[in-house]
Amino acid sequence: MRFVLAVLALLWAGAAVATPAQDFQALLADHWAWVLRNNPEFATQLGERAYDDRLSDLSLAHIDASARDAAGFLARADAIPAQALSPADALNRDILRRVLAREVEGARFGQRAMIFGNRSGWHTNAAGWPDTLPFYGLADYRSYVARLKAYPAQNAAGIETVRWAVAHGFVLPCAAMGGFEKTIQGEIVGDPDASDFMKPFAHRPAAVGENDWAALRGEARAAIRDGVIPAYRAFLRFYTADYAPHCRREIGASALPDGAAWYAFLARQETTTDLTPAQIHALGLSEVARIRAEMEQVAARAGFAGDRKGFVARLRTDPEYFPRSGDDLIAAASVMTKRIDGEMPKYFGRLPRLPYTVKPVPDATADGTTTAYYEPGSPESGRAGVYRVNLTHLDQRPLWELPSLTLHEAVPGHHNQIALQQELDYPLFRRHIAYFTAFTEGWGLYSERLGIPMGLYDTPERDMGRLSYEMWRACRLVVDTGMHTMGMSKAQAIAFMADNTALTPANIEAEVNRYIAGPGQALAYKIGELRIRSLRAEAEQALGPKFDIRGFHDAVLGQGSVPMDVLERQVRAWIAARRAAG
């Protein structure tokens, strides 16, 4: 009997010991459930409805608890030997480790409490709910009303976190915060029916009965009147009375507590390289010189030989280059998207199923923000990708920028790359949260260059627009590192960009403010683009007549957003496979 019991015990123990592959799958499942639980608005957008009545917790206690959770997941990943996993899961483990490691390291800095930027924050995220949340049936509207009722508590928690940041010296520079209060004031209205938050109630879906509709509409109106708008007023009072008077006079990140180490961390994370700020600065100067020589050639073709500045001055001031109305700009951007759509099958073997549309940047945030940006869509919640175009300051939105702008923000840039990533048969974290800026923005900048064979830069003005945009990203390497580590002033950064790009003054001002308020992110574009171009040149040289541009692009995008060293491995594997194909 003892022998039988011993055998059964051994069998039970053996069955209870999971393999490394099983441990990893359990880790993936636990981590993804944690991501959705901690980001309930994001979960809803992905079709997970278990947290529909909740909002993200902005308290510092929760931020720190999340960092501890991430450290626990990282320890679990480290305990699983990569060599015991399949090659695919070994790569998944590597990428998950990087995602977790940057969360853990970033949380060690007091800057973790700087939870809004110079043009956005939890208040602008909330204002976007009518566009980003699903509104199809009764449950959708009930959860939306629940979130409206929960917003005052979220707002209060956010204010308390920022209050801690102010008390400990973690504040944004004054030079970048001009007009921030407008992003709050835009949602403060006297009549709740005039609020953006009432937009979902403009039309009743057939799936919602009239009685339920009337009741929910009344609840929403009361929640906006009695909770949401007072919360925006409270945030405005806090910002004007308690935050703005304590904004930072120095613009460099190095002026913050432990700022030099924080900026070095950001540089590593954003570029996925070990380049130092000094090395990045030198690379930027080199690229500026190279692109400037090309701009001189384009100016000569336009009849401005030896007078690049004269050509740029004309581009910045001649009314013929600017839209007369917001409708004109939206129309021109829309036509450009359809022209590019027609070229896409020539350059890609796989295209995304999810469509995209063109919409204006919301009025509350448009003044002073960037010229355009992309909002990812969601197949699960039935939302298309959005190419947002800024309709303010039309005398600063030249039409010769549109080819580069559209290639970057829509297709083949962000929409194409992100929508394809959402379709990949990979773990959910890789499809939805594993974004590496050097890849994502490097791809966007690389996409601008595809306009050359597409024939989009068919005038000297548009070609100068392309070079100006490339120069813009090269200048970022200089001014971002310069301001945050080398004492460059805001005025010097603006002058450097004005001297080297064809960007209009309003765009330059907005961009420099962006770099001041969000250190490091701007470094990723040029470094990522240069690496993708280098890998393409390597593939063209190695494969000769076997090189296939569609295959190369599919190989680059085929694993979603990845660090630069992972991209190198996947492209070189594609090269080897093409060679072996005979």
Q: What is the pLDDT of residues 125-162, one digit of tens each?
A: 999 999 999 999 999 999 999 999 999 999 999 999 99
In our burial notation (b when 16+ CB lie closer than 10 A, e otherwise), range 544-575 reads eeeeebebbbbbbbbbbbbbbebbeebbeebb
In our burial notation (b when 16+ CB lie closer than 10 A, e otherwise), range 66-98 reads bbebbbebbebbeebebeebeeebebbbbbbbb
191 and 268 co-located in one domain: no
Percent of the chain whose predicted confidence (pLDDT) is above 90: 94
Residue for token pair 């791809």 = 443
219 and 321 co-located in one domain: no
Q: Which domain holds residue 438?
A: 262-528
346 and 438 co-located in one domain: yes
- Contact of 513 with 368, CB cutoff 8 Å: yes
Q: Is 287 contained in some domain?
A: yes
Residue 368 is predicted with a pLDDT of 77
Residue 12 is predicted with a pLDDT of 47
Q: How far is CA 185 from CA 154, 156, 173, 182, 239, in A?
A: 18, 17, 21, 5, 11
Residue 17 is predicted with a pLDDT of 79
Whether the model pTM is above 0.85: yes
465 and 389 co-located in one domain: yes
- Residue 357 backbone dihedrals phi, psi, to 5 degrees: -135, 175
Q: Is 581 contained in some domain?
A: no
216 and 360 co-located in one domain: no
Q: Is 539 contained in some domain?
A: no
Q: How far apart are CA 478 and CA 287, in angstroms?
A: 10
Q: Is 560 contained in some domain?
A: no
Q: Is 582 contained in some domain?
A: no
Q: Is 147 contained in some domain?
A: yes
173 and 244 co-located in one domain: yes
- State the sign of the Cα–Cα–Cα–Cα dihedral 437, 438, 443, 446: positive
> Which of 267, 306, 304 has the alpha carbon at shortest distance from 476?
267
Q: How far apart are CA 168 and CA 320, in angstroms?
A: 51
378 and 490 co-located in one domain: yes
pLDDT in tens, 478-530: 999 999 999 999 999 999 999 999 999 989 999 999 999 999 999 999 999 99
Number of domains in the chain: 2
195 and 76 co-located in one domain: yes
Task: Indicate the pLDDT class of residue 441, thresholds 50, 70 and 90.
Answer: very high
Residue 227 scores a pLDDT above 60: yes
40 and 185 co-located in one domain: yes
Q: How far apart are CA 575 and CA 43, in angstroms?
A: 38
Q: Is 555 contained in some domain?
A: no
Q: How far apart are CA 358 and CA 385, in angstroms?
A: 9
Q: Beta strand pairing status for 385-389 and 356-360?
A: parallel
Q: Is 257 contained in some domain?
A: no
Q: How many CA atoms lie within 13 A of 174 on its CB side?
A: 8
Out of 510, 528, 546, pick the residue that ends a domain: 528
270 and 162 co-located in one domain: no
- Contact of 390 with 370, CB cutoff 8 Å: yes
230 and 374 co-located in one domain: no
Out of 213, 248, 283, pick the residue that ends a domain: 248
Residue 8 scores a pLDDT above 50: no
322 and 353 co-located in one domain: yes
- State the sign of the Cα–Cα–Cα–Cα dihedral 388, 556, 442, 462: negative
Out of 222, 248, 274, pick the residue that ends a domain: 248
